[in-house]
Each structure stands twice: as structure tokens, then as C-alpha cells.
Amino acid sequence: MGDQIKSYPAAIDGLVVEHDGGVLAVRFDRPDRRNALTDDMVLGLIDIVDVASSDESVRVIHITGTGEHFCSGFDLSLRGGGGEKPRTGATQRQMRWHINRLVPTMQQCQTPIVASVKGWAIGLGLNIALASDFVVAADDARLWAPFVDAAFTPDSGGSWLIPRLVGIARAKEMILLGRKVSGKDASDWGLVHSAVPDSELDEAVAALLVELADRPTVALGLAKQLIHSAPTSELESHLAQEGLALELSSRSEDFHENSRARRESRGPDFTGR
């Protein structure tokens, strides 16, 4: 039997998914809860990213939120709302099995991911943004890792992502001291790709989405994997990975299109294949 073809999940409460051209937009849609995530939303996002990574019609994934906020994290009000009080640590144990799949799925996805952040990006919401390839934030957005403030420890990859982006000292400031970081400061630190006035956010993100959607998707994805593997690879091993990626990218239609375009003295028309 051949491999089963993956398909996008059915409609999920709290997630709005739109496919326009080469852009797959995923929007958190619980504005009354500052777009806090449910189990179904997390599982749905995992499935959407996983399927999109092998969907040739998707050139870039855009993650955003409805209304004034990006995402306020996981909605803990949905856990332990009735009956017996959960045992200490039960919430974290229940969350771990699927939430811990989300950041690796995003990191391994060869389709570029862009997050546009305004208002609050908290906890799991912050980690989703930081696991994206590009984060464009409003200047007055607020990024917060509140785990220690609530007397527990980071989850969903926050303590892995933040030090890699801003270093140990800034990570301790954010995680141990619970510093709330503005979008502007996040850009200055290198925590996000860029920050713009709130009124310019949609325009800036749209321009980036167009730029990424017009680029050679196969080469983008392979280059993304090389960047992610570099910090834990020895040089000789990494050079071998580069050689393999070069071989794979040189077989893509976009590679040959670029060669034709150069011969014909024109710009390439990449299709993402």
C-alpha cells in the first residue's frame, strides 16, 4: 500500500484557516479570551503545519490573532474547572504530550512561517511566535514568559528558544524575572525580526509574505533546516549536510528556472517546486 495522503483537519473552534494564493493564514480566533488556546486549537495547529509542510501550493504560513492580541497562551481555565482539585503538577503533565509536539513541528516544517504579533504574546503564545521563522511585532506589543511568576517552570520550549535568540542574560531577565518586553525592545534584542508601529503592522507583514511566497521554497526549506541544525553540529558533519542540501536543491524546478532566467537575462519565476 502507498503512503496515505495527509489532509487538513476539519473546522476547529477557535482557529480560522484561509488559503489565498501561496499564503496559508492561520488565525487564533478567541478574542474574548485574548486568543488563549484550547487543546483542540493546539492539536489543529500541529496538524495544519504538518500538512502544509508537504503541500506544494503553500509557499508561506502566516500565524496571527483576531482583534487586539496575538495569543495569551494556553487557556488554563479549561482545566480542572469542576470536580476534585487536580493533583499538583497534573495540568503540566496533561499538557505535555501534545503541546511539546508543537514547537518541534514548526521548527521542522520546511515551509517558512511568519507570525504577526500585536497586543499580548504570553507563554505558549510567545513560544509559538518565537518558533516561527520571522516575527513582525507592533512596537507596543508585549511579550511575556510568565512561568516563574506563576511559581512553575517554562514549558513548550520557551527555555530552549529564548536563550538561542537573545542569549543567557536576556533569557534570565525574561524567564527568571518575568520581564515584559515591548515589541520595539524585542526587535532591538534580536528576539523578533522587526517591529513597526501598530498602524503599519499589516502592511509590513503583507510585504514579507509576498517576498517569501515569491522565493524558491525548496531552497528556503533546506536552508532553514541547515540553520537550525548548525548550533549542535560539528563543522565536518555540517559541511556534509550542506552538500546533501545542495544536491537536493539543485534537483528542484526552481533551480533550473533560475538557470534558464540567467541565460535569458530575465528575473526568475519561481513556483516553489
Residues in contact with 78: Cβ distance below 8 Å, sequence separation at least 6, in sequence order: 38, 39
Residue % of the chain over a pLDDT of 70: 92
**pLDDT-based confidence at 121, cuts 50/70/90?**
very high
Instruction: Specify the range with the lowest mean pLDDT, choosing from 67-71, 82-86, 168-172.
Output: 82-86
Q: Are 109 and 52 in contact (CB under 8 A)?
A: yes
Question: Higher model confidence: residue 3 or residue 79?
Answer: 79
Q: Is the pLDDT of residue 94 over 60?
A: no
* Antiparallel, parallel or unpaired: β 134-138 and 113-117: parallel
Instruction: Express as a percent the part of the chain with pLDDT over 90.
Output: 78
> Is the distance from CB of 194 to CB of 187 less than 8 angstroms?
yes
- Per-residue confidence (pLDDT) for residue 91, from 0 to 100: 54
Residue pair 60/113 in contact (Cβ under 8 Å)? The answer is: yes
Hunting for cell 524546478 — which residue is that? 253
**Domain ranges, ordered by start, for the chain:** 15-213, 217-263
Predicted confidence at residue 10, as pLDDT, reads 85
Asked if the 15-213 domain carries CATH number 3.90.226.10, the reply is yes
pLDDT mean over 31-50: 96
pLDDT tens sequence across 140-188: 999 999 999 999 889 999 999 999 999 999 999 999 999 999 999 999 9
Q: Does 224 have pLDDT greater than 80?
A: yes
Q: What is the mean pLDDT of residues 243-253?
A: 94
